[in-house]
Structure 1
């Protein structure tokens, strides 16, 4: 009996030890699991806070670290400019060419911001690893390394006074052409974007093109253009013409001659140079679609031809024409695609 009691006691002790050991192991596992869950929750919370902070910085458009997308970005390689404005959680952006021309196909307004990505309909903007921006078209593919540009000081253009030049070199004396000095306008204007950055300069449109062109009022003493563009109304008349005053020529013996015009390659893409010519003694005849006009170049007497529907032009009138050279007729007379005509009967 004592032997059996001893065996039972030993068994009970072994069982109790096993239970104690199992409890300790289970307790340790529970502690480890709880610790791992706490660490995971903390990491998730930190990640959420970081993501929220980053999104808030971008959406608010405030200068916090590198998360502010609002600003003007320039691709130094292509010269293109990307403008981004973030307001009320929405981003608007537009891509501009090197010359400041807006690419209408790459303009988006009030688009969603997703972390470092601006969602657009036709085009998209994303942030590179180095903080620069990349531009993508709707057809796929991205390009550009657009780096944020600090705002520069505004350029102040002053009016150019040509009165001294008219006294030194006047067409009135040498060519017998009357010039109305009061109508000569030399004010240089500027076109800026919303950030106050210069896109291009152009000449004011208050004066007479005839007086300005004949007097050379669009150029300085060295013959360099005072602005990039001529008056905007004339530029717009040219439709696709680039409008650069370096591509504008007044046909006369002192500058761009009639012989040079004849040797020029005709324009067939609507983006060629513009030419201004004074024509006297206009005659006209009816063509298939438009009236055909012939006039004598004021300086050489050579015949020049153009077409159109100018109801105010009478036979015998004197005019200034502005247009593109499109080639020579059978008798080597220049023909122009004319965009503007000014009567100048009282100038001779």
Structure 2
């Protein structure tokens, strides 16, 4: 294997090892479940990740309700809506969340802890969209559904009490991939142009490029091999997810592999969070580098020795860092600052 600047990030963090040992029997069972064919896996009852002890509580700190939007093909798309308790003195920012799950699994509750923290601590309305899943609904359905859900938010802005000039798009893993695709669409080909302002994008442990299309001549992209056999999400599982979502021959599309975009200029400021023991690590690092090179105000947070989606363990100290970073970064957008630089607010 070629020498790597990032190989040290794959060394398991002692904090992770202690948690992994504690949860080993449960994780072994989960690993077996994940190896089931997708149809069988979906029959397993959904069990949300445990929530941190300090997570905001419904009715006390936040309200949670559900609604639905209509997709461009007439299908119904579920929405989970979080808001702070109490009357707002002014319109609230909107955090529009695209959940992870390899485009094939996951629900509006996949990032439940994050969504509650953002609603309560940022004083935001959070809308999590239940886009349709692959392989039944392959690329680009998830992107279209997510765009249509955002359109619903704009049409219901008054009801939601949101400021359409303060929208943050956020997603984890495959959801971050969809967010990156949306920002490119909104920049280049937006029927919604001029209707709202996106002030930031949160890209948590993002999928940025299909491994068979990786621009390895430009970036170091070795983490699929370095983290081939790791906990939670390994390289094999990522390949399975990709195969469900889009044929490899078509995965060079910029909306599937945004790292391949010729320019990332004039995109909203970005927070990129990356786990060191993750097959997706180097793609996230490369995307942060590409954003910075294009003049986009970018904050990069790395969690060495942590696997993909480590934040599902609330007793893991970096998990709280992960949530706090999202909250604090969104707050920094409200102050019109990112890492001491003026943000470039994009009017789509």
Whose strand proportion is higher, 1 or 2?
A: 1
Class of the TM-score when normalised by the shorter of the 2 chains = under 0.3
Question: Computing the radius of gyration over CA atoms, which structure comes out larger, 1 or 2?
Answer: 1
Q: TM-score, normalised by structure 2?
A: 0.24
Greater RCO structure (CA 8 Å; 6+ sep): 2
Q: TM-score, normalised by structure 1?
A: 0.24
